[in-house]
Amino acid sequence: MKKGLIQATDWYERLVHWMLALSCLFLCLTGLAMMFHSLNSIANLMGGLTVTKYLHNFTGLLFALALLLAIKMWWQEAGVFSMPEDLEWMMVAGGYLWHVDKVPEVGKYNPGQKMFFLAVAIFGLVMVITGLIMWFPLIFPAMLVRWLFVLHALGFVVIFAFFFVHLYLGTIGSPGSAPAMFSGWVTRAWLKKQHPKWLKEMEEEGTLVVSGEENKAH
């Protein structure tokens, strides 16, 4: 491995993240196949709509598990805003939309990431709960189930749109980010640009893991 890279994520974090990502994507795909008659052909690839329905339902259980693990893992770091720096960051949109001389320094997660986490956590739970009831709709009042379909569709609107923002900013929109999801090792320059406060914290606490160097934490 190249020397001087910094470990941003551990294997567990990446595993849970991939579980959540892949199950979510598969749910979007199978959901779309059932949502639009014009996309019914996607279901044919998986053995028909009835098979797709069951794949969707059972993948939902995997998604629920991944979501709970993700919330447990991230809610302290990404579920709470730290004022006032997060507010300042939001006022300049993190320097993403217009030129900002000095973007307020953020830690491991910037407010945009926190908002995405909260959207996924809240709407993910909505999807799981409404989905479970929609699986067995006849034991609940029709009026309730009808409105759960609305919530399920609303959750899809939010998560599906947010997913593309997330995909863009995790890849070409922010070069150097994707390795955090694959190998877990990122460059110091990327960390300094994206999460300067986190870099400082790790340096001060001596928790920084650098490739080719002894772990100073010991």
Partner 1 sequence: MTEKIKLFDTSKCTGCRSCQLACKQWNQLAAKQTRNTGTYQNPPDLQPNTYLVMRFQEMDDPKAGVKWFFRHHACMHCTDAACVKVCPSGALYYTDMKTVGLNRAICIACKECVTACPFDIPRYDDKTDKVYKCDMCESRIGNNMEPACAKACPTGALTWGDKDKLMKAAYKRAKDLGGDAKVYGDKFVDGTHLVYVLQEKTALYSALPTNPSVPLSIVLWKDVLKPLALLAAGGVLAGSFLHYIIHGPKTPDEDGANKMEGGE
Residues that bind partner 1 (CB under 8 A): 34-37, 40, 49-50, 52-53, 95-99, 137-138, 142, 145-147, 149-150, 153-154, 156-157, 160-165, 168, 172-176, 187, 189-190, 192-194
Q: Which tokens hold the place of 42?
A: 């996607």
* Per-residue buried b or exposed e for 178-204, using 16+ beta carbons within 10 Å of the residue's own CB: eebbeebbbbeebbeebbeebbeebee
Give the residue among 171, 177, 216, 173 at the shortest CA–CA distance from 195: 177
Q: How far is the CB of 100 from partner 1 (least distance, A)?
A: 9
Q: How far is the CB of 143 from partner 1 (least distance, A)?
A: 8
Cα angle 191, 196, 202 (rounded to 5 degrees) comes to 85
Q: How far is the CB of 183 from partner 1 (least distance, A)?
A: 17
Cα→Cα distances 73→13, 97, 120, 127, 137, Å: 8, 30, 14, 20, 32
The residue among 33 and 71 lying less far from partner 1, judged by its C-beta, is: 33
Q: How far is the CB of 77 from partner 1 (least distance, A)?
A: 21
Region for residue 95 given its phi and psi (left: phi exceeds 0; alpha: psi -120 to 50; beta: otherwise): left
The residue among 37 and 218 lying less far from partner 1, judged by its C-beta, is: 37
For residues 211 and 185, give the distance between their C-alpha atoms in angstroms, rounded to a whole number. 8
Q: How far is the CB of 149 from partner 1 (least distance, A)?
A: 5
The residue among 17 and 152 lying less far from partner 1, judged by its C-beta, is: 152
The residue among 18 and 96 lying less far from partner 1, judged by its C-beta, is: 96
